Amino acid sequence: MSMSARLIRNLVAAAFGAALLVAGIGLFEHYGTVPDDRIVESQPAARERISSSAPGDLGTKATSGAAPSNGGGVVNSAPEAGSLGPWPQSLKSLGTASSRQWLSVYRAGIARDASLADRYMALQVMDYCLPLSSGLEFITDTKRPENYKELVRIKSAWHDRCADLRLVSRDEVLRERKRLDQDLQAPNSRFSRERLEELGDKSSPARLEALRSTLASTLSDEGGAALAWAGPSLANWLERVARNPQLQGRLPEALVAQPELIQHAVVLVQCEMAMACGNDSVAYFATCTNTGACGDSVPAVLLRLFGNQRNELLAQASIVRSALETKDLGKLGLLQ
């Protein structure tokens, strides 16, 4: 597997997890500074927009009931046109939302009565923007001059998306991030990393069974949207089973024949069912910026990198997608 392919797998598979940018900081090598001569909006103007914007215009609450507070004593309004929509559709909209919408997601998620889904969404927005407030340099890959304009575009777009949130105190954002992460890692949280931790080479049979059981219940309850946070664990489960002679009988032959493609096949399905991956999405921004592999979308980049195995990769993705759509989890080796 090429370095670019490996980085895409790691970045995109965690695109809605804390690792997307925070763990990727070390990948941003400095080849030169992208000229930043595009001033979109003055700081005072942005602050005026923040103070006047409706704090709850996204409709990201996962449950109905009393209108939630936004944490500042204001009751959230009903969703406006152009909102991110209800959970879990809002997950896919998050990666292409506007700066104002990201700020609203942040406000909704830090409210003391916020749903777990709202807290999860807010944590993702924080992780999209926190590295930028650290003065993170973007690659301007002079070794690939054909990508220069695209990297300049991405830098500008990414900074624009984070413009409103970056006006919030960094100390506040870090404090709220720590609190939300603790909430999401509670033992019974469906977002808990411990419940869906990646398999190691020496995972015990009991650990393997625990992961199978958790993945089965999560995907059965949440469907393909759960790939936003459970995608890496599903990919690791499938690859582990495909490589184990005692277990591989549970899987279709297409998965067993080429287990090295499974991680990338799951990414393709994530892009269909759980997250935005077009050239205006955060997943694509991270892929192009960190690897220099750019194109029309994350799937387009992957299919180009695996051109000689394109059909096999698409076949694996089709199996995973079909199993999730029909909830035929036996095709994924998840039924006892």
Q: What is the pLDDT of residue 289?
A: 80
Q: What is the pLDDT of residue 267?
A: 94
Mean pLDDT of the chain: 75
Residues, the chain, total?
336
Q: What is the pLDDT of residue 9?
A: 47
Q: What is the pLDDT of residue 49?
A: 35
Residue showing tokens 């700020």: 103
Residue 24 pLDDT grade (very low, low, confident, very high; cuts 50, 70, 90): very low
pLDDT(216) > 50: yes
Could you give the C-alpha distances from 71 to 61, 76, 110, 113, in angstroms and in order? 14, 10, 7, 9
Q: Where are the domains of the chain?
A: 30-184, 205-332
Axis-axis angle for helices 170-184, 99-110 (nearest 10)? 60
Residue 74 pLDDT grade (very low, low, confident, very high; cuts 50, 70, 90): very low
Could you give the C-alpha distances from 158 to 164, 253, 281, 333, in angstroms and in order? 12, 41, 9, 39
